[in-house]
Amino acid sequence: MNARTNLQQHARVAPTTRSAFTLVEMLVVIGIIGILSAILIPAVTNAVRRARVTNLRLEVTSLEQAVEQYQQKYGDYPPDFSSWAIVERHYRKVFPRMSTNDSELLYFLLHDTNGTATKADDVFDATQLDRGEVLAWTLGGYSDDTQRPFTGAGGPLVWTGNGTNNYGDSAVTDADRQNPLYFQVNIDRPNSLMDFDAARLDYSEVNAGAAMTGTNRRMSSDGDLFLSYRSDSEGAPFVYFDSRTYALYDPNVSSGAGDFNGYGSTTYGYVRPFLSTNANANRSGGNYTDQAAALGAWQFVNPNTFQIISAGLDNNFGATASYDVNGDSNVEPIYFQYDTGAAIALLTGTGFATPGDLVVTSVSKYQESAFGDNEQYPADNITNFSNGTVVDDVP
């Protein structure tokens, strides 16, 4: 046997190099990836959710601290602008030297719905400065000019006039200085109690190349001079409720969520201040005769201060403002109770005489399915009294 033969034999027995996985090996790898995905994806998703909830809760805390600073500075909590009497009393206390022009301007901002700036046909409208706009207006800061806290330097409003005159010109009348049409939103407010992100204040900028007109002014997206502060650039606003008007009922004034104080939006849903688990005895001994009396059956959360509510991760406060709970063809305002997640309906008449009679037994954990909606929007609302989302605090 020569060398050539030996080489041929070695060539025949040498192992070949493999260039691919077998089918079994590929299936094993795919199975391992599937198992890891099943473990990791929910964990990552939950971690992302917790981080977003934490960020929103921290922002609510910042707003809460700013409201407390407001109270320390002015000796009063901000009103939520659902009652003109409380708004008027608040600003008389806070700015006793306020000029007639600024006080009348505020009056027309909250009453004048037809743009005439005359009092003959004006009625207070609680949606002019709604619960989602309170925080930006009050915490954004007022002017150091105590006579002109709204229109002075650094205040929430800036004079525009007709684009050519100044606020103090002799040709400008007091009627002009009281007319909302001659002002625009001010986004440079040095006395702000909260570091507002301007990108999340819902205003439209003026067209610098066009003449200053009634429409070419810096205004909110809904065309007025009150801005909301949103959870993100396209998100729902942070909503504020003042304890003095939690239970406010006025059949002549709509709040956007009905005649009871609340916030309502076709985009971001409906929310009213949360009730607590503390009941009030019905001292009348009879049935609740009207919805305002039924609302007195339960105490509110933070009964002496305020509530701040975020719509949470879904940017929707809730789908239900009112519902015909007992099938009598009349809708009842719906409130949610913290921390049980129960729904409370303002039911009246026979069989409704105690706080427990008003609990909608088919609703738990803020679920709105009993009202024809399965999205459970209120469950992820985040407040200044919850640890995170309200549903996470349900016992």
Q: Could you list the pLDDT tens digit for every one of the 395 residues in the chain?
A: 555 555 455 555 555 565 667 877 777 888 788 787 777 667 666 777 888 899 999 999 999 999 999 999 999 999 999 999 999 999 999 999 999 999 999 999 999 866 677 787 788 888 899 999 999 999 999 999 999 999 999 999 999 987 778 999 999 999 999 999 999 999 999 999 999 999 999 998 877 666 666 677 899 988 899 999 999 988 999 999 999 999 998 776 656 566 899 999 999 999 999 999 999 999 888 999 999 999 999 999 999 999 999 999 999 999 999 999 999 888 999 999 999 999 999 999 999 999 999 999 999 999 999 998 888 899 999 999 999 999 999 99
Q: Determine, yes or no, domain membership for 304.
A: yes
Q: Determine, yes or no, domain membership for 254.
A: yes
Nearest alpha-carbon partner for 273 in 243, 297, 252, 251: 243
Q: CA angle 281-284-285, nearest 5°? A: 80
Longest CA pairwise span in the chain (Å):
124
Rg (CA), the chain: 30
Amino acid in position 248 = L
The CA-atom distances, in angstroms, between 98 and each of 94, 109, 178, 202 are 9, 16, 13, 28
E-strand ranges in 110-260 read 157-159, 183-185, 203-204, 219-220, 239-242
Is residue 392 located within the same domain as residue 317? yes
Is residue 240 located within the same domain as residue 216? no
Q: Mention every residue, 6+ apart, whose C-beta is less than 8 A from residue 361.
A: none
Is residue 142 located within the same domain as residue 243? no
Q: Determine, yes or no, domain membership for 12.
A: no
Of 229, 262, 295, at which residue does a domain stop? 229
Residue-level length of the chain: 395
| Residue showing tokens 């954990």 | 365
CA atoms in the 13 A half-sphere facing the CB of 250? 19
How many domains in the chain? 2
Q: Mention every residue, 6+ apart, whose C-beta is less than 8 A from residue 158.
A: 151, 183, 184, 185, 186, 218
**CB 68, CB 305: distance < 8 Å:** no
Of 229, 255, 282, at which residue does a domain stop? 229
Q: Determine, yes or no, domain membership for 379.
A: yes
CA atoms in the 13 A half-sphere facing the CB of 33? 6
18: left (phi over 0), alpha (psi -120 to 50) or beta: beta
Model pLDDT, residue 343: 97
Structural domain of 247: 235-395
Model pLDDT, residue 212: 65
Q: Determine, yes or no, domain membership for 113.
A: yes
E-strand ranges in 83-182 read 157-159
Is residue 107 located within the same domain as residue 151? yes
Q: Which two tokens stand for residue 243?
A: 């304890």
Q: Which two tokens stand for residue 52?
A: 């977003």
Is residue 269 located within the same domain as residue 373? yes
**CB 255, CB 318: distance < 8 Å:** no
Is residue 361 located within the same domain as residue 280? yes
- What stretches of the chain show up as alpha helix (H) in DSSP? 3-13, 23-74, 84-94, 100-111, 134-139, 174-177, 291-295
Model pLDDT, residue 53: 92
Is residue 302 located within the same domain as residue 380? yes
Q: Determine, yes or no, domain membership for 393.
A: yes
Is residue 224 located within the same domain as residue 256? no
Is residue 284 located within the same domain as residue 199? no
Q: Mention every residue, 6+ apart, whose C-beta is less than 8 A from residue 154.
A: 141, 142, 143, 144, 186, 188, 189, 190, 191
Q: Write the DSSP assignment of 67-78 as a string of letters.
A: HHHHHHHHSSPP
Is residue 225 located within the same domain as residue 293? no
CA atoms in the 13 A half-sphere facing the CB of 137? 26
Q: Determine, yes or no, domain membership for 124.
A: yes
Is residue 214 located within the same domain as residue 268? no
Is residue 313 located within the same domain as residue 222? no
In eight-state DSSP terms, residue 237 is B
What span, in angstroms and rounded, lies between the C-alpha atoms of 319 and 306?
Answer: 23
Of 213, 229, 245, at which residue does a domain stop? 229
Element (H, E) at 209: none
Q: Determine, yes or no, domain membership for 385.
A: yes
